[in-house]
Chains A and B, each alone.
Chain A
Amino acid sequence: MTGKERILAKLRGEPTDSLPLMPITMMFAADLAGVPYGDYARDHRVLADAQVAVAGRFGFDYVSAISDPAREASDLGATVEWFDNQPPAIVESRALLDDKGKLAGLRLPDLSAPGRMRDRVEAVRLLAERAGATHIVEGWVEGPCAMSADLRGLNTLMLDFFDDPPFVEALFDFTVRMEVEFARAQVEAGATLIGVGDAAASLVGPKIYTQHVLPWEQRLIAAIRAMGVPVRLHICGNTKRIVEGMGQTGADIIDLDYPTPLGHARHAMRETQVLLGNIDPVRDLRDGTPESVEAALGECYRQAGAAYICGAGCEVPRGTPHANVEAMARFARGRR
């Protein structure tokens, strides 16, 4: 099976020749290619080269256009700080929507114009040309909670949930409309799966998640799935208390960070829900040994059951020994 066939078969609940392998690599991929991360995030050609190389080197079943959470915010005019060799970051102290009144004047970015969103679409196009026949090509968008935090400021958004729920609804509505169009452009460019990253959602409890976040994640995911591609939902952090809701988002793949045991997620979701993850990226993967990586993955697989895709809880960290990533690949290839 090709990587693409393997992942799609797993998502259909059909037998596979081995476990699909979909760890997130960004800085690790840039380092492997010998390019500064600032270039990786700025230039789709650099990103595509590095992704094709890392997937080839370790036998990943997919390539991805994920790079940083600041693409949409950049194009909307947010203040972003750039670094030579790490991901750009949104400057929260100068949040674009520090004044709530500015939301009414915000317009959806023009995806045909040059910009950071357009650069991701071009990354997807290149990846599809170069690896799409054999690999899943993953596009990426921010989830409603993360994107709203990017625009409003994370600390402020957390208080908005109590202070001004109608504003939160309006903000989530804007972000979801934008991300649907961003996903559509990536699908049209050749993405065969869309990842949704909604890290900020792990900071809220089940009440706020169910009331304010889940309905918008459902709306976004349903719109993307209607384009004919599966969706991977990734929420960094501790999601133990919201994982039941995550199982109701409609995402084809629930990608969990290490604080949430896969057994906990499996208990909260249907048997056929595909789970992805989730060894501790720092303690197990970067600081571990090939033996400890395989042991940790074995435990993930045991807890997840058959509907499982191999990966780490979050990005494979910079500085992870190649032998540990090879151990991850060996684990996946050695199991059905």
Chain B
Amino acid sequence: MPDLEKLHEAVIEGDWKAAAAATHAAIAAGVPPLTIVTDYLVRAMDEVGRRFECEEYFVPEMLLSARAMKASMEIVRPLLAASGAEPVGRVVIGTVKGDLHDIGKNLVASMLEGGGFEVIDLGADVAPERFIEAVTARHANLVALSALLTVTMGSMKTTIDALQAAGLREKVKIMVGGAPVTQQYADAIGADGFSDSAGNAVALARKLVAA
């Protein structure tokens, strides 16, 4: 039996090579891919999120751990798909139209992926139509919108309105976040949830898809 704690540790320490090697060893030893994700990657990213929340980790450390988690996920993902295992949820995420800031969105995307979600990351400066296309094509049940600028926050409402007009609003939950975004604003534009941090975003996403 391979030492899977090494995988857990490699993700927390941000060592992507060690994470990939531990994942290969686990697969070769017959560990089910879903076990690798739920018992090790999710747990490791939960710990990374905890360290971020209590300011032991900062953005560089988070990105390093995310890279290690992704190195493992790259190996596991095709096997998961072949086994028919369902993710916790399917989330389409992007920074809204007119806004090119993506580091907060990237952190949330990584935390969601590490939390067992299938993440469809559309990048930054994403037009409402692209959210609609992705939700439709990938059967997503969650949409996550990010904005860093007060001037681009309005694109969150435009996107939500576009999802409504496309008849998709009832099929997805929508969460929003970013430095200028408040719970009050989230309520005003008809979002289902707001998070002020990457760590809390995972808990919120789990709650929204379970509702």
Contact = CB atoms under 8 A, between A and B. Distances in A.
Chains A and B bind each other? yes
| Most chain A CB within a 10 A radius of its CB, from B60, B124, B152, B182 | B60
B63 to A, nearest CB: 5
Interface stretch (B29-37, B95-103, B157-165): B95-103
Contact of B55 (A85, A155, A240): A240
| Most chain A CB within a 10 A radius of its CB, from B55, B149, B150, B152 | B150
A128 B182 CA distance: 39
B103 A155 contact: yes
Nearest to B125: A81
A155 B102 contact: yes
Contact of A241 (B58, B103, B151): B58
B100 A204 contact: no
B102 to A, nearest CB: 7
A161 B150 contact: no
Given A27-B151, A317-B150, A92 B102 contact: yes
B190 interface: no
B87 interface: no
A317 B125 CA distance: 20
A157 to B, nearest CB: 9
Interface string B181-197: 01010000000000000
A290 to B, nearest CB: 19
A241 B150 CA distance: 25
Contact of B100 (A27, A92, A158, A283): A92
B89 interface: no
B43 interface: no
Given A159-B60, A203-B60, A83 B55 contact: no
Contacts of A319: 150
A91 B100 contact: yes
A218 interface: no
Interface residues of B, number: 28
Nearest to B181: A282
B98 A282 contact: no
A86 interface: yes
Interface residues of A, number: 31
B56 to A, nearest CB: 8
Contacts of A283: 182
Contact of A90 (B55, B61, B63, B100): B100
Contacts of B49: none
Nearest to B101: A89
A205 B64 contact: no
A155 B58 contact: no
Given A27-B151, A86-B149, A283-B182, A208 B58 contact: yes
A86 B123 CA distance: 20
Nearest to A149: B103
A204 B14 contact: no
Given A162-B64, A208-B60, A282 B182 contact: yes
A69 to B, nearest CB: 11
Interface string A100-126: 000000000000000000000000000
A180 interface: no
B100 A159 contact: no
A162 B151 contact: no
Given A81-B100, A282-B150, A159 B58 contact: no
B62 to A, nearest CB: 8
B182 A203 contact: no
Interface in B132-152: 149-152
Contacts of B100: 81, 89-92
A203 B103 contact: yes
Nearest to A37: B151
Nearest to A158: B60
B67 interface: yes
Contacts of A282: 150, 180, 182
B59 interface: yes
Contacts of B59: 158, 203-204
Contacts of B63: 155, 158-159
Contacts of B64: 159, 162
Q: Which 3 A-B pairs have the closest CB atoms?
A: A205-B58, A203-B59, A89-B100
Interface of B: 14, 55, 57-61, 63-64, 67, 98-103, 106, 123-125, 149-152, 179-180, 182, 184
Given A204-B59, A240-B55, 4 more contacts: A89-B100, A154-B103, A158-B60, A205-B55
27 contacts: A81-B100, A89-B100, A90-B100, A91-B100, A93-B124, A154-B103, A155-B102, A155-B103, A159-B60, A159-B64, A159-B67, A162-B64, A203-B58, A204-B58, A204-B59, A204-B60, A205-B60, A208-B60, A237-B179, A240-B55, A241-B58, A282-B150, A283-B182, A286-B150, A317-B150, A318-B151, A319-B150
